[in-house]
Amino acid sequence: MESLRSKKGFLCDMDGVIYKGNQLLPGVREFVEWLYQENKQFLFLTNSSGKTPRELQQKLARMGLEVAENHFYTSALATAKFLSHQSPGCSAYVIGEPGLFNALHDANITFNDVDPDYVVIGETINYNYSLICRAMNHVLNGAKLIGTNTDLTGPSESGIIPACRALVAPVEITTGKSAYYVGKPNPLMMRTGLQILGIHSGETAMIGDRMDTDIIAGIESGLDPVLVLSGVTSREQIEQYPYRPRLILEGVGDIPMA
pLDDT at residue 157 tops 70? no
Parallel, antiparallel or unpaired: strands 23-24 and 19-20: antiparallel
Q: Which of 160, 181, 202 is the last residue of a domain?
A: 181
Q: Measure the CA–CA gap between 157 and 109, rounded to whole angstroms.
A: 33
- Which of 13, 117, 209, 224 is labelled catalytic? 13
Same domain for 198 and 162:
no
At residue 53, the pLDDT reads 97
Task: Choose among 45, 50, 58: nearest CA to 17.
Answer: 45
At residue 257, the pLDDT reads 79
Quote the number of domains for the chain: 2
Q: Measure the CA–CA gap between 199 and 221, rounded to whole angstroms.
A: 13
CATH number of the domain that residue 248 is part of:
3.40.50.1000
pLDDT band at 236, cuts 50/70/90?
Answer: very high
Q: At what angle do helices 164-175 and 129-140 cross, to 10 degrees?
A: 50
Give me the chain's average pLDDT, please: 94
At residue 158, the pLDDT reads 73
Cross-sheet strand order for the sheet of 180-181: 110-111, 91-95, 118-121, 144-147, 180-181
Q: Which range marks the domain in which residue 118 is found?
A: 80-181
pLDDT at residue 1 tops 70? no
Q: Measure the CA–CA gap between 124 and 96, rounded to whole angstroms.
A: 5
Same domain for 98 and 18:
no
Q: Measure the CA–CA gap between 26 and 251, rounded to whole angstroms.
A: 7
Give catalytic status of residue 15 as yes or no.
Answer: yes
Parallel, antiparallel or unpaired: strands 144-147 and 204-208: unpaired
* Structural domain includes residue 60: no
Same domain for 243 and 165:
no
* Structural domain includes residue 20: yes
Same domain for 207 and 140:
no
pLDDT band at 249, cuts 50/70/90?
Answer: very high
Kindly report, residue by residue over 159-208, the tens digit of the pLDDT: 778 999 999 999 999 999 999 999 999 999 999 999 999 999 999 999 99
Among residues of the chain, what percentage have pLDDT more than 70?
98
Q: Which of 181, 208, 234 is the last residue of a domain?
A: 181
Q: Which of 158, 181, 204 is the last residue of a domain?
A: 181
Contact 192, 81 (CB under 8 A): yes
Kindly report, residue by residue over 14-58, the tens digit of the pLDDT: 999 999 888 899 999 999 999 999 999 999 999 999 999 999 999
Give catalytic status of residue 13 as yes or no.
Answer: yes
pLDDT at residue 148 tops 70? yes
User: Distances from the Cα of 105 to the Cαs of 59, 76, 91, 132, 180, in angstroms?
Assistant: 23, 11, 10, 22, 20
Same domain for 221 and 144:
no
Whole-prediction pTM? 0.92
pLDDT band at 219, cuts 50/70/90?
Answer: very high
Same domain for 250 and 230:
yes
Contact 24, 65 (CB under 8 A): yes
At residue 31, the pLDDT reads 96
pLDDT band at 82, cuts 50/70/90?
Answer: very high
- Which of 15, 117, 209, 214 is labelled catalytic? 15
At residue 154, the pLDDT reads 79
